[in-house]
């Protein structure tokens, strides 16, 4: 996807948010999903192993093991990632909440500061369109991240 195509896609998402969100709120919707997507990409290489370890480890405090394995101070134990969320648009709001709750506490605190729960609720009940806005904004996160990875 070229830069122009990505820019046009971002504007098309803004058009879909019109009516459900004020223009001044677009950044409050787009930024948290971009951040969420970056966490998703950073943790992708270790995702399957973390899920396996979460099932098999018998220690009571798995956090240090997860952090050591990911190489970061955060992790996610949800079975979902962005692609799996997009693959099941019928239950996207519930699955997205599960995905967010699967993050370590420090990431959840960051996401709470974005008031992501409220944004998800508003996206799940679009006032001006029949389009499932959560899927569109998740797709935007994928597109913006792909642009960032290129540079």
Q: Compute, in degrees rounded to 10, the torsion defined by CA atoms 17, 21, 26, 30.
A: -60
- Tell me the domain boundaries of the chain: 3-150
pLDDT at 98: 96
pLDDT along the chain (151 residues), means of 10: 71 67 79 89 96 93 94 96 85 91 96 90 65 59 51 35
Q: Are 139 and 86 contacting, i.e. CB atoms less than 8 angstroms apart?
A: yes
Task: Give which of 98, 88, 96 is closest to 119, Cα–Cα.
Answer: 96
Tokens, residue 151: 């540079």
pLDDT at 10: 66
For tokens 């899927």, the residue is 135
Ramachandran assignment for 21, one of left (phi > 0), alpha (psi -120 to 50 degrees), beta (any other): beta
pLDDT at 131: 46
pLDDT at 151: 35
The predicted model scores a pTM of 0.79
Give the whole-angstrom CA distance, residue 12 versus residue 110.
27
Tokens, residue 91: 């239950």
């Amino acid at each position: 996807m070229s830069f122009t195509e990505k820019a046009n896609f971002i504007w098309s998402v803004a058009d879909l948010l019109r009516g459900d969100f004020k223009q001044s709120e677009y950044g409050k919707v787009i930024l948290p999903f971009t951040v969420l997507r970056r966490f998703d990409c950073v943790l992708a290489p270790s995702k399957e192993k973390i899920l396996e370890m979460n099932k098999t480890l018998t220690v009571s405090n798995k956090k240090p093991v997860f952090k050591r394995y990911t190489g970061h101070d955060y992790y996610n134990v949800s079975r979902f990632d962005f692609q799996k969320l997009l693959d099941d648009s019928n239950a996207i709001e519930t699955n997205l909440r599960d995905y967010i709750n699967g993050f370590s506490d420090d990431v959840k605190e960051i996401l709470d500061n974005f008031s992501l729960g409220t944004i998800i609720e508003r996206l799940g009940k679009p006032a001006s369109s029949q389009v499932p806005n959560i899927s569109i904004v998740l797709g935007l996160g994928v597109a913006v991240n792909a642009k960032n990875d290129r540079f």
